[in-house]
Amino acid sequence: MSSINWQQAVYDVIKSGGINLIGYVPDAGHAALINSAKADDAMRDVVMTSEEEGIPLCAGAWLGGMRSLLLMQSSGVGNCVNMLSLQRTARFPMVILVTMRGEYAEFNPWQIPMGSTTQAVLEICGFKVERVASEAEAAETVQAAIDFAFNSNVGVAVLLSQKMLGRKKWVE
Amino acid sequence: MLERRAVVAKLLEHRGNAVVISGLGSPTYDVAAVSPSERNYYLWGAMGGAAMMGFGLALARADLHVIVITGDGEALMGMGSLATIGANQPRNLSIVVLDNEHYGETGMQQSHLGMGVDLCAVAVACGFTQACAVTTEAELQTAVSTFHKTAATKFLQVKVSPESPPRVMPTRDAVENKITFRQALGAEQSDLITDKE
């Protein structure tokens, strides 16, 4: 499956899962999903200055009956920590897709501290975490995360592994 | 100097079906004291998140006036969200900052807004076309007269005296508040309808 296909498959399950709002801080690994959202008149996309803005964004949307989803890089999970208490205290359904850095073939050591603690941070804050290591399982896992979050009022994060996303090209 | 609870009472007196998100600390007590409603969501934490919570709600319910009432410390912690909201211009969102220039909940330490920082100018720079600082009764009356006309994203910085009226404490059960709020808006039902299972 080509990289364009798995991202299209993920976008398709986001749509069929009733998501109408995507909040994000850009990451190269999310670029295709962001482009799909921007090209879709039925999808509201919100670029944020910091990932922590996404937690109350999703909570507020849910208060009004709208399903939403967040896209961020692993470093952004660290920016969310106190705000995740909003999800946990009120049991807001929440889905975060996280592109991983600081692992497979990482070039930049500054990515390692947060990348190597992303899953633990999310879990200790009460999120359920699924890790995606291959393109074939990406869409199914995101679909399961959406069902899990909105049927059981939990926060679910899907970590998209750096090995699957591919090495960042530092020199074109 | 304006008194915070009287300001909130004036702003919410003719709220109709408007919904309110209150920032943690005194704004939550103020809203609970003068305008209790199932259409209020009271924050007791998530400092810096009130404006974004209002924004998310405004996107979900374009038919409703969404009012965020928060304090200067809370607004400062979420200052980036003014850029996010300004870039999107939700017409049905109003952000009210009750600015006493202090962190009231923690012992009245001075905030940046008493040290020369102009938050209203920040809002203007972020693209809020209806942003104003309110310091007098007359300015408050003018702001109140158009407050519920949802034609543009509003930002109101209201200078209030640094006095703490008696605490009026609404529920701290965030789940209960979520359910009653969603029921009042018919959101529980609408989600069942969109649910395909």
Which of A16, A56, A67 is opposite residue B52, by nearest beta carbon? A56
The answer for A 14-73 residues in CB contact with B (under 8 A) is: 16, 18, 21, 44, 46-50, 52-68
Provide the residue-wise pLDDT of chain B in tens; the chain has 197 residues: 999 999 999 999 999 999 999 999 999 999 999 999 999 999 999 999 999 999 999 999 999 999 999 999 999 999 999 999 999 999 999 999 999 999 999 999 999 999 999 999 999 999 998 998 999 999 999 999 999 998 899 999 999 999 989 999 999 999 999 999 999 999 976 555 444 44
Whichever domain contains B176, its CATH number is 3.40.50.970
Q: DSSP assignment of B148-195, as one string?
A: T--SS-EEEEEEB-S--PPP------HHHHHHHHHHHTTHHHHHHHH-
Adjacent-strand bridge partners of B103: B109
Judge whether B196 lies within some domain: no
Q: How far apart are CA A166 and CA B105, in angstroms?
A: 48
* Chain centre to alpha carbon of residue B168: 17
Q: What is the pTM of this model?
A: 0.96
Residues with Cβ within 8 Å of B36's Cβ and at least 6 positions away in sequence, in order, are: B170
Judge whether B73 lies within some domain: yes
- Domains, chain A, in order of start with CATH, read 3-165 (3.40.50.970)
How many structural domains does chain B have?
A: 1
Work out the minimum CA distance from B183 to partner chain A, whole angstroms. Answer: 9
Q: What's the pLDDT at B191?
A: 57
Tokens for B189, please give them: 């039902």
Query: Which 8-state DSSP code applies to residue A151?
Result: H
Judge whether B64 lies within some domain: yes
Adjacent-strand bridge partners of A48: none
Contacting residues of B for A82, CB less than 8 Å apart: 45-47
What is the domain extent for residue B28?
4-191
Residue A147 neighbours by CB distance under 10 Å: 16
Q: What's the pLDDT at B193?
A: 47
Q: Is the ipTM of this complex over 0.90?
A: yes
Q: Which residues of chain A have pLDDT under 50?
A: 1
CA distances to A122, A140, B186, B191, B192 from B196, in Å: 29, 17, 18, 10, 8
Judge whether B161 lies within some domain: yes
Work out the minimum CA distance from A164 to partner chain B, whole angstroms. Answer: 31
Judge whether B10 lies within some domain: yes
Identify the closest residue of chain A to B46 by CA–CA distance. Answer: A83
Q: For residue B88, which of A70, A30, A98, A53 has the smallest C-alpha distance? A: A53
Judge whether B8 lies within some domain: yes
